[in-house]
Each structure stands twice: as structure tokens, then as C-alpha cells.
Copies of this chain bind each other. A is one copy, B any other.
């Protein structure tokens, strides 16, 4: 538990001056970071040793240790502010910004995730006759990744990254099949048509795409990925990371649904891979 939560905890039995201290600190924790024990004591109207006792009472070594903890707690709260990459950025700047924006994309996706849609998709996949994954361009590697993950299950799964193959397969599906269409923008005409074809066969069409997009419109279930407009020149494609994490969620939920018997199956599977590895 963070120190801020500790301070907020009113249940803790505290002395009068301890209360005054907690109140004051919570009012502006940032400011406390640049105060000495003397100034804080003066501001609150207590003596220095009282402040010290307050800190040790919290299980910390002393006032400096308290400030360290407070700094940590505050750091956790402030979010990731994404900044654009500029042409003159150094390598370390680029690294920092890319990681920042990836973190931000993840948080965004998590915030708008629809648990019900995921549960329904898992339900459909678990009982599906076959699962077909479709992706074009950047999304094709996501489709292949999903294929790799879903291969572990005993359900026939295939990823198509070729438009012709996608159309052929989509047109030949049936009511018990699941078609998963992956597109960042949800505006790729070709992928929309694939979804339409799938729809006509009564297969369940799942979209891993931007909510509200044209593609989403033709899907039975939408696993939403936030779409930030890719206007900046050097913006990394954080969206596919988000798509992959959605795939992770789908695959993991599916694995859990299979129950304990499946856990043994997974074990055997891992076993079969060990012999391709160098022991070191």
C-alpha cells in the first residue's frame, strides 16, 4: 500500500498533531517534498521531533525516508504524457517517447475494454468448428501471432494474410465458425468486404478494430482498440501492440475456460518444445 493511502486511512488511531500533519501533507504532498523537517513542523504548528515521531510511527526510518516514500507514491499517480517524436531527438529521447506512448496506448485500450464482448467471443471460440483470422498490412502479423497462440487449443485455427485466400475462406464458412477480422483503422475496404462475406454465411464475425468504425459495423462482436489518428510522421504504430494484448486476453480466457484437463495438454505441449532448445 502506498503511503498516501496510509495517510488517508482515518481508521488509524492517531494523536492530535499526527492528524494535523496528515491533513496538511495530503493537502499538498508535492510541496512537502521540498520542505525540511523544520519548515514542515513550522507550517503545521508542531515541533520537529513530533514530525519525526510521525514518520517513525508510520514504520519508516525518519523524515528523509518519509519524503522518499512520498515521492514514490506521487510518481505512481501521474500518468504517462505522450509526446511526439521530433526529428532532432536523440536515441534516448526516441526510446523514452516510444515506451511512453506504448504504455499510454495500453492504458487507453484497457480503459475501453468490454468484458462482456470478450466473454462472448471466448464462448464462441470455445465451441467453434473452426476459427479464421484475417489481417492485412500491419495487422497481418497480428493475425499470425493470434494463430500461433490459438494453435495451442484443440480447435482448427488458421490465419490468412492474403486477400484472395481471405475472401475464399470467409465465403465458405458456416454458422458454427468464427471469423476474426483485424484492422487498426477499421476502414480498409478489403477487410470490410471480408467481414461482409463472413456475415452472409452466418458465421460469428469478431472485429479487433476501432469501435464505431465501418468494419465494426459488420461485426457481431467488437473488441475495441483505441484509434488515434496516425497523422504524425514518426508515430509508432502502438495500435498493433494493443491488438496483441487483446489477443493475449482472448487466448488466456480461452485457456482458462478449457479447465484443468487442458492444463495437462499445455504441459505436454511445452514439453515438446524443450528439445528444440539448447540447455546452456
- Report which A residues bind B (CB closer than 8 A): 1-2, 5, 8-11, 33-34, 61, 64-65, 67-69, 71-76, 79, 85, 87, 89-96, 98-99, 102-103, 106-107, 109-110, 113, 115, 118-119, 122, 137-138, 140-142, 144-145, 148-149, 185, 187-190, 192, 213-214, 230, 233-234, 236-238, 240-241, 244-245, 248-249, 251-253, 255-256, 259-260, 263, 266-267, 270, 273, 276-280
Q: Which residue, A118, A141, A142, A237, has most C-beta atoms of chain B within 10 A?
A: A141
Contact B91 A119 (CB under 8 A): yes
Residue in contact with A241 in the complex, picked from B71, B85, B236, B245, CB distance below 8 Å: B245
- Give the distance in Å from the alpha carbon of A96 to the alpha carbon of B277 in the complex: 32
Contact A144 B148 (CB under 8 A): no
- Give the distance in Å from the alpha carbon of A240 to the alpha carbon of B142 in the complex: 11
CB distance from A80 to the nearest CB of B (A): 9
Contact A1 B115 (CB under 8 A): no
Closest to A61 in B: B34
Residue in contact with A106 in the complex, picked from B67, B103, B145, B273, CB distance below 8 Å: B103
Q: Which residue, A106, A109, A263, A266, has most C-beta atoms of chain B within 10 A?
A: A106
Q: Which residue, A140, A251, A278, has most C-beta atoms of chain B within 10 A?
A: A278
Cβ contacts under 8 Å, A8 to chain B: 92
CB distance from A36 to the nearest CB of B (A): 9
Cβ contacts under 8 Å, A91 to chain B: 11, 115, 118-119, 122, 253
CB contact under 8 A between A280 and B214, given known A90-B11, A91-B115, A98-B248: yes
Closest to A5 in B: B96
CB distance from A126 to the nearest CB of B (A): 13
Contact B145 A252 (CB under 8 A): no
- Give the distance in Å from the alpha carbon of A9 to the alpha carbon of B5 in the complex: 34
Closest to A64 in B: B64
Q: Which residue, A10, A68, A240, A273, has most C-beta atoms of chain B within 10 A?
A: A68
Residue in contact with A277 in the complex, picked from B2, B68, B188, B263, CB distance below 8 Å: B188
CB distance from A30 to the nearest CB of B (A): 11
Contact B96 A1 (CB under 8 A): yes
Cβ contacts under 8 Å, A278 to chain B: 187-189, 192, 214
- Give the distance in Å from the alpha carbon of A276 to the alpha carbon of B193 in the complex: 12
Q: List 15 A-B contacts (CB under 8 A).
A: A2-B96, A10-B92, A33-B68, A68-B71, A71-B75, A72-B72, A76-B79, A91-B119, A94-B249, A95-B113, A98-B249, A140-B148, A141-B142, A141-B145, A236-B251
